[in-house]
A = this chain, B = another copy of it.
């Protein structure tokens, strides 16, 4: 078998085959028709049904996200892995600028001066770009906590916040804080899992839905 194995080579065929396998294996769930393409894409990117099924959607999240992307409102991300995951033809076609400020020297300076994490400092620096945009946290819970604070203090109003940090420290707490922000559309999940691939998959799924008839 090993010597004779012939992989599927066409990207569209790989997607189609993966999506049918996911639909065969998912079993019962309560996601709506609009949410399902996002969930399916997260499962595709992670091969993790548990992570896919843990997703939580504000009722307006999918429409808010695809509208903002279709109108080129831009995407703000916490880390370079998420930036690499979303910086693709589909996002850029609609005129979206991808903003990631964690690598800037200024972020390090603010972090040291204020005694906060570099991710928090980068989120403060990105607040201007985040107005009306899709803001995505795929790694750092402290970035998400800072984001929630800025929204609560009425200093920031993104179109959608995708909050999927991953890990053991402050992660579930940061997601609970985000989920309690009912005035802003949000997508998050239950538990410690998340990560750059899941977060990018959410944004890429929303971008692929911009042209769907239901959006306008």
Contact = CB atoms under 8 A, between A and B. Distances in A.
Contacts of A142: 7, 9
Contact of A166 (B9, B22, B45, B169): B45
Nearest to A191: B47
Contact of A116 (B9, B48, B115, B166): B9
A14 B7 CA distance: 41
B193 A46 contact: yes
B174 A46 contact: no
Contacts of A58: none
Interface residues of A, number: 49
A197 B200 contact: no
A188 interface: no
* Count of this chain's copies in the oligomeric assembly: 2
A52 interface: no
Interface in A183-197: 191-197
A7 B174 contact: yes
Contact of A180 (B2, B80, B194): B2
A145 B115 contact: no
B7 A145 contact: yes
Interface stretch (A62-70, A81-89, A153-161): A81-89
Contacts of A9: 115-117, 120, 142
